[in-house]
């Protein structure tokens, strides 16, 4: 492909290194340059509209043109554009936001510490698990168990928690003391004749076996997303978290819930923890915390964890952790306004009203020749394409069907996320029923075109 000299695409290729991108392919294909957004739609440099069915990166919960968030940022920039929270310093936006987050937490929490991204939040969690166990005199209890196909970030520690091979390959990850338990995807990993409840029991038993194998005195934490996002929108099987939490309690393992994608209404409750009755010792959140208008994340810790931190910081003389932008006043002000909008506009109730329409519409795709499973709840879902519905056999990964469908969808004005051959949907929480219908229609057209492409390639399917 030839790019116009000095065009945005040409300059991007020349100067910009993209995350989560095949760098060689990018040199010839270049970027989709988005120039503006309105509601659930974004527009490229030619003015073409795209329904943003991923809310950017699972995150622009209030869409792409909320004036109140812009006004909140401008107001705070004029009053106090920056200050830090080190060495006993603070400012009102971070104080107000910490107080507000505690008031809406799914379980009682003691304190809130701020970071700038979900990755940083989960990186902080790793350090806090280690810090906590040093403080309570259990320095060997440092191993943290994540899960295969989990996604918790891309820093050295959080990428180690992430259970996806491409986040580890050639980065020399995972680091020591990070383990991975079974992926709770019933459609893919249940045994023949195994019910969801039996599958959950087997996974809980396997977790207990892993803890016993490693030594309970060495296992300090278990981290989980309520619904696994970037691993494929994997909804836990019935009774899974009930059984998992019982194992964690039995062996005194801290439970960390990663609400970076699920928090703030995505699952039809304020927190994914409420949807699945989770009782975390620590909770990480980001993305919809500010509707992604500005970067901010938070970790909430319960009283048990906080009191241990107090003891250790007193012994050392300082809690030696934090970021230049922790609780940045402008980001915190935008996050506060975001949380106000959620309440004033009853966003959780809105998701409860429109979510069933999206879920029902996605499940209609089960009749399509390419679709083997549809999963999700609220305004998060995925459609998995298979080569054979009866055997659940996948297409050859070298075919790249998921990526091909995402490309077709983009041409049809629909932005989705391909995770292997699963296509994820997490539209802005403000999406209307009419916009959901538009999204589904564009997806149907794209599925049909992908089917025609397979036929042209002579690829069998049934």
Decide if 392 contacts 366 (C-beta within 8 A). Answer: no
Residue 307 to residue 333: CA distance in whole angstroms: 28
Share above pLDDT 70 across residues of the chain, in percent, rounded to a whole number: 100
- Label residue 455 exposed, middle or buried (CB < 10 Å: 0-12, 13-18, 19+): exposed
Q: Is residue 374 part of a domain?
A: yes
Model confidence pLDDT, tens digit, residues 144-196? 999 999 999 999 999 999 999 999 999 999 999 999 999 999 999 999 999 99
Domain identity same for 93 and 166: yes
Decide if 9 contacts 31 (C-beta within 8 A). Answer: yes
The model carries a pTM of: 0.96
Task: Using the 3D structure, point to which of 289, 318, 344 is the last residue of a domain.
Answer: 344
Q: Is residue 250 part of a domain?
A: yes
Report the length, in residues, of the chain.
462
Domain identity same for 362 and 421: yes
Domain identity same for 219 and 105: yes
Domain identity same for 43 and 73: no
Domain identity same for 113 and 227: yes
Q: Is residue 426 part of a domain?
A: yes
Share above pLDDT 90 across residues of the chain, in percent, rounded to a whole number: 98
Q: Is 384 a residue whose pLDDT tops 90? A: yes
- Which of 1-15, 139-153, 231-245, 394-408 is predicted least confidently? 1-15
Task: Provide the CATH number for the domain around residue 369.
Answer: 3.90.1150.10
Q: Is residue 356 part of a domain?
A: yes
Model confidence pLDDT, tens digit, residues 323-364? 999 999 999 999 999 999 999 999 999 999 999 999 999 999
Model confidence pLDDT, tens digit, residues 401-412? 999 999 999 999
Query: Is the preceding peptide bond at 174 cis, omega within 30 degrees of 0?
Result: yes
Residue 146 to residue 130: CA distance in whole angstroms: 15
Nearest by Cα to 272 from 262, 282, 281? 262
Positive or negative: CA dihedral 75, 79, 82, 87: negative
Q: Is 57 a residue whose pLDDT tops 90? A: yes
Decide if 429 contacts 270 (C-beta within 8 A). Answer: no
Instruction: Please give the pLDDT value at position 462.
Output: 80
Instruction: Please give the pLDDT value at position 1.
Output: 63
Q: Give the pair of three-digit tokens for residue 439.
A: 């999204």
Q: Is 233 a residue whose pLDDT tops 90? A: yes
Instruction: Please give the pLDDT value at position 382.
Output: 98
For residue 5, name the pLDDT band (cuts at 50, 70, 90): confident
Nearest by Cα to 227 from 257, 255, 248? 257
Q: Is 6 a residue whose pLDDT tops 90? A: no
Domain interval for residue 351: 32-65+346-457
Q: Is 237 a residue whose pLDDT tops 90? A: yes
In this structure, what DSSP letter does residue 317 have? S
Domain identity same for 107 and 55: no
Instruction: Please give the pLDDT value at position 136.
Output: 98
Q: Is residue 3 part of a domain?
A: no
Domain identity same for 362 and 241: no
Domain identity same for 116 and 257: yes
Average pLDDT over residues 285-298: 98
Domain identity same for 60 and 82: no
Task: Using the 3D structure, point to which of 289, 321, 344 is the last residue of a domain.
Answer: 344
Decide if 140 contacts 156 (C-beta within 8 A). Answer: no
Task: Using the 3D structure, point to which of 290, 324, 344 is the last residue of a domain.
Answer: 344
Phi/psi zone of residue 153: left (φ > 0), alpha (ψ -120 to 50 degrees), beta? Answer: left
Mean pLDDT of all residues belonging to the chain: 97
Residue 321 to residue 111: CA distance in whole angstroms: 15
Structural domains in the chain (count): 2
Q: Is residue 443 part of a domain?
A: yes
User: In a 3-state reduction of DSSP, which class is residue 77?
Assistant: helix
Task: Provide the CATH number for the domain around residue 217.
Answer: 3.40.640.10
Q: Is residue 1 part of a domain?
A: no
Q: Is residue 24 part of a domain?
A: no
Query: Is the preceding peptide bond at 394 cis, omega within 30 degrees of 0?
Result: no
Q: Give the pair of three-digit tokens for residue 428.
A: 């802005």
For residue 2, name the pLDDT band (cuts at 50, 70, 90): low
Domain identity same for 296 and 393: no
Instruction: Please give the pLDDT value at position 460.
Output: 87
Domain identity same for 56 and 119: no
Average pLDDT over residues 442-452: 98
Average pLDDT over residues 357-372: 98
Distances (CA, A) of 438 to 178, 203, 428: 43, 39, 14
Nearest by Cα to 157 from 145, 180, 173? 173
Domain identity same for 310 and 374: no
């Amino acid at each position: 492909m030839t790019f116009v000299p000095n065009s945005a695409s040409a300059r991007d290729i020349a100067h910009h290194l993209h995350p989560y991108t095949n760098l060689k392919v990018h040199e010839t294909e270049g970027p989709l340059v988005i120039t503006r957004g309105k509601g659930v739609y974004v527009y490229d440099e030619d003015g073409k509209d795209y329904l943003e069915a991923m809310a950017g990166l699972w995150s622009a919960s209030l869409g792409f043109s909320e004036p109140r968030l812009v006004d909140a940022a401008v107001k705070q920039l004029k009053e106090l554009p920056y200050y830090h929270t080190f060495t006993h310093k603070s400012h009102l936006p971070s104080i107000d936001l910490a107080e507000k987050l505690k008031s809406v937490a799914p379980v009682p929490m003691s304190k809130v510490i701020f970071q700038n991204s979900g990755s940083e939040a989960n990186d902080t969690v790793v350090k806090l698990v280690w810090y906590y166990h040093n403080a309570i005199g259990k320095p060997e209890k440092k191993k943290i168990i994540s899960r295969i196909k989990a996604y918790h970030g891309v820093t050295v520690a959080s990428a180690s928690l992430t259970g996806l091979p491409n986040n580890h390959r050639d980065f020399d990850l995972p680091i020591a003391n990070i383990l991975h338990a079974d992926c709770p995807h019933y459609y893919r990993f249940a045994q023949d004749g195994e019910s969801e409840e039996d599958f959950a029991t087997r996974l809980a038993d396997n977790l207990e076996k892993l803890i016993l194998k490693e030594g309970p005195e060495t296992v300090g934490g278990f981290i989980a997303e309520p619904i696994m996002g970037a691993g494929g929108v994997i909804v836990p099987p019935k009774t899974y978290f009930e059984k998992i939490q019982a194992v964690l309690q039995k062996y005194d393992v801290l439970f960390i819930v990663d609400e970076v994608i699920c928090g703030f209404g995505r699952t039809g409750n304020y927190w994914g923890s409420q949807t699945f009755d989770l009782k975390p010792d620590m909770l990480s959140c980001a993305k919809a915390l500010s509707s992604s208008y500005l970067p901010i994340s938070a970790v909430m810790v319960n009283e048990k964890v906080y009191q241990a931190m107090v003891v250790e910081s007193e012994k050392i003389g300082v809690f030696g952790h934090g970021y230049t932008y922790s609780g940045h006043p402008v980001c915190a002000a935008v996050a506060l306004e975001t949380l106000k909008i959620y309440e004033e506009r009853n966003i959780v109730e809105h998701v409860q009203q429109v979510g069933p329409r999206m879920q029902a519409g996605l499940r209609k795709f089960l009749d399509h020749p390419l679709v083997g499973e549809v999963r999700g709840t609220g305004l998060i879902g995925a459609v998995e394409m298979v080569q054979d519905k009866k055997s659940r056999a996948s297409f050859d990964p070298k075919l790249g069907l998921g990526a091909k469908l995402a490309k077709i969808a983009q041409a049809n004005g629909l932005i989705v996320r391909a995770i292997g051959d699963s296509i994820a949907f997490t539209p802005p929480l403000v999406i209307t029923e009419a916009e959901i219908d538009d999204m589904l229609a564009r997806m149907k057209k794209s599925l049909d075109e992908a089917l025609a492409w397979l036929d042209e390639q002579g690829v069998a399917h049934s």
